[in-house]
């Protein structure tokens, strides 16, 4: 299954770790650790085309032309489950600012319900990495991207772990220019909006709820 503007990260180490997360016997501690590890591996690919600017550096021997990231990076996890990936991303990008978007999915309607938003004031000038392990119906990711656009953000990458085809289509109907990076595109949603085969409820598995 392939979709335009979706980058599927097929790296064998990512795929091995994803299999561990899918395993129903993986406990809270291992789930958290492995999710962070995958996030670190994914962000390496996600940041591959970040713009750089020249920076002169003096080595112990001479001066040379180096580079530095041209723009600040802001990481925006969708609460709660996005928090489970944030530490892994920050390990690679320790200077990144952090915004938070609190959204939960109503269990009956599956519509996203916003409950908290806090973004850095100059986020519009930043490269934004929006993270959430699960892209199911797409409702939460669509709402989060709308919120970022209203805040003036123009450069967003959306990183998820497992995506459903339904969620990818819905997300790209509204935000076709935002690249989705994911480690898997699963088969379908069930009648309750869970991804099949998926990994269950990501938030519950991270937080032990
Ligand atoms: C999960 C997940 C996404 C959302 C995906 O969060 O982390 O945010 O569901 O579903 P969607 O694509 O159909 O919107 P949930 O609403 O369970 O909240 P939580 O992270 O607080 O557990
Ligand atoms: N949210 C999850 O955490 N898991 C799913 O399968 C769907 C939505």
Domain coordinates in residue numbering, the chain: 6-207
What was the pLDDT predicted at 1? 75
CA distance 116 to 25: 32
Looking only at the bridges linking them, the beta strands covering 162-163 and 184-185 are: parallel
Closest-approaching ligand to the CA atom of 78: 1
| Ligand 2 centroid, distance to 194 Cα (angstroms) | 5
Q: Which of 134, 165, 167, 204 to mutate to test the pocket of ligand 2 (most atoms within 8 A of CB)?
A: 134
Instruction: Determine whether the shortest distance from the Cβ of 136 to ligand 1 is under 6 A.
Output: yes
How far is ligand 2, taken at its centre, from the CA of residue 31, in Å? Answer: 15
Question: Does the active-site annotation cover 109?
Answer: yes
Nearest CA to ligand 2 atom 5: 194
Quote the pTM value.
Answer: 0.96
Catalytic choice (16, 23, 91, 109) = 109
In CATH, the number for domain 6-207 is 3.40.50.2020
105 contacts 113 by C-beta, under 8 angstroms: yes
Beta-carbon contacts of 68 under 8 Å, excluding residues fewer than 6 positions away, are 52, 53, 55
Task: Walk along the chain (209 residues) in steps of 10 and give the mean pLDDT of each run.
Answer: 93 98 98 98 96 98 98 97 98 97 93 96 96 98 98 97 98 98 98 97 96
In angstroms, the CA 13 to CA 51 distance is 27
Closest residue by Cα to residue 42 from 24, 21, 18:
18
pLDDT given for residue 2 in this prediction: 81
Residue from 85, 103, 188, 198 whose mutation best tests the ligand 2 pocket (most atoms within 8 A of CB): 198
Phi, psi of 189 (to 5 degrees): -100, 150
């Amino acid at each position: 299954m392939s979709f335009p503007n979706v980058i599927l990260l097929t790296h064998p180490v990512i795929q091995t770790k994803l299999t561990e997360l899918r395993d129903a016997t993986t406990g809270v501690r291992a789930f958290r650790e492995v999710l962070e590890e995958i996030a670190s591996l994914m962000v390496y690919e996600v940041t591959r085309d970040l713009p750089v600017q020249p920076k002169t550096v003096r080595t112990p021997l001479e001066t040379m032309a180096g580079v530095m990231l041209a723009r600040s990076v802001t990481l925006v996890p969708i609460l709660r489950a996005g928090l489970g990936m944030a530490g892994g991303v920050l390990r690679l990008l320790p200077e990144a600012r952090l915004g938070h978007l609190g959204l939960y999915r109503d269990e009956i309607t599956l519509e996203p319900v916003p409950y908290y938003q806090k973004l850095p004031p100059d986020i519009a000038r930043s490269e934004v990495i929006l993270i959430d392990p699960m892209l199911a119906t797409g409702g939460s990711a669509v709402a989060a991207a709308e919120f970022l656009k209203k805040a003036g953000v123009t450069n967003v990458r959306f990183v998820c772990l497992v995506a459903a085809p339904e969620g990818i289509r819905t997300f790209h109907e509204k935000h076709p220019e935002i690249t989705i990076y994911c480690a898997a595109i699963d088969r379908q949603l069930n009648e309750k909006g869970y991804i099949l085969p998926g990994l269950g409820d990501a938030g519950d598995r991270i937080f032990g709820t």
